[in-house]
Amino acid sequence: MDGRDHQHAMDDNSTRDRIRALVRDVLDKALPQEGEGDQRPSETSSRFIDTATKSRDTASETTTTRDESSKTVITEDDVRDLASGSVLRIAEGARLTPLAADIVSEKKIEIVRRVPRRGSKASRLIAVGADHGGFKMKEELKAFLNELGHQVHDFGTNSEDPVDYPDFAYAVARSVAEGTADVGIVIDGAGVGSAMTANKVPGVRAAACYSVAVARNSREHNGANVLTLGSKTISSAEMRDIVQAWLATELTEERHRKRVGKIEAIEKQYLR
């Protein structure tokens, strides 16, 4: 190697050394200090994930509210999948089974008992509906309920033009099941079709009643929360007596509550 080649080699080595030094300097300034290593990036990532998770959990816990106010007995199946800190709305006189009570306590679920409107057990918000055959009697029913001091949510129909009774029975039943109405009353020609329809809605126990005795029984023994009537089978006076008796009767005895609990257990088998 002559002198010029030797000098070029030295210059190349010097240039590479300067470049390496520059790169190390840049890397030293960009990377975490010794001891921090991978910790800082992972901490940043972890903080982001944890914050997002907590935010979602908090939002879920503050907005998760389940309404089971149409039921007289709350079982473990009603509360098992609720998140901790949730709110459970139940009827004023509803009871929890021992297992349900344990879950509620363990998850710190807030129980809110639904107090009938206007602060009186005699006052309720009642969903009403009828097909064309029950329209006239429904209008009489609304006036009668107002006389008794109840509030009414009328789901129709609004004339004697032909309509399909399942549409109105379903609207009333769903309102009761979702807790937006305390109880419901549906009127069609016989009361049977509306009862069949309403009973397809989970949480609803509809009873077709043709006498005061049956009306009382449907409430006291079966915890009915929807009453169906047949405009062609009862008179206006009988309608008033049946409705008044039905609204004045409650499911109170433990032996009847237990049996209604079995009705609800059967229903749950087909909801899974």
Higher pLDDT, 10 or 133: 133
Q: What is the torsional sign of CA 69, 72, 77, 80?
A: positive
Residues of the chain within CATH 3.40.1400.10 domain(s) are: 118-252
- By CB neighbour count within 10 A (0-12 exposed, 13-18 middle, 19+ buried), where does 44 fall? exposed
Does residue 11 have a pLDDT over 90? no
The secondary structure of 19-86 as a DSSP string is HHHHHHHHHHHHSPPTTTTTHHHHHHHHHHHHHHHHHHHHHHHHH-EEEETT-SEE-HHHHTTPPTT-
Does residue 237 have a pLDDT over 80? yes
Does residue 137 have a pLDDT over 60? yes
What confidence score (pLDDT) does residue 123 get? 79
221 has catalytic annotation: yes
pLDDT above 70 coverage of the chain, percent:
72
Pairing of strands 87-91, 73-74: unpaired
Higher pLDDT, 30 or 11: 11
- Name the strand (E) or helix (H) holding 12: helix 3-30
Distance in angstroms (rounded) separating the CA atoms of residues 150 and 66: 25
Does residue 140 have a pLDDT over 90? yes
| 120 pLDDT tier (thresholds 50, 70, 90) | very low
What confidence score (pLDDT) does residue 57 get? 41
What confidence score (pLDDT) does residue 64 get? 78
Least confident of 29-43, 99-113, 128-142: 29-43
The active-site residue out of 8, 153, 221, 256 is 221
What confidence score (pLDDT) does residue 24 get? 66
What confidence score (pLDDT) does residue 209 get? 97
| 136 pLDDT tier (thresholds 50, 70, 90) | very high
What confidence score (pLDDT) does residue 115 get? 55
CB contact at 8 A, 215 and 209: yes
Tell me: the pLDDT tens digits for 30-86? 544 444 444 444 333 333 333 333 333 444 434 478 888 767 678 888 888 888 888
Higher pLDDT, 43 or 236: 236
The rounded mean pLDDT for the chain is 80
Inter-CA distances, 174 with 65, 96, 155, 169, 206, Å: 17, 23, 11, 9, 12
CATH number, domain 118-252: 3.40.1400.10
What confidence score (pLDDT) does residue 176 get? 94
Structure pTM? 0.59
- Residue 183's SS3 state is strand
Strands (E), the chain: 65-68, 73-74, 87-91, 95-96, 110-114, 125-130, 151-154, 183-188, 206-208, 226-230
Structure tokens at 147: 């006389």
What confidence score (pLDDT) does residue 26 get? 57
β-sheet bridge partners, residue 228: 186, 208
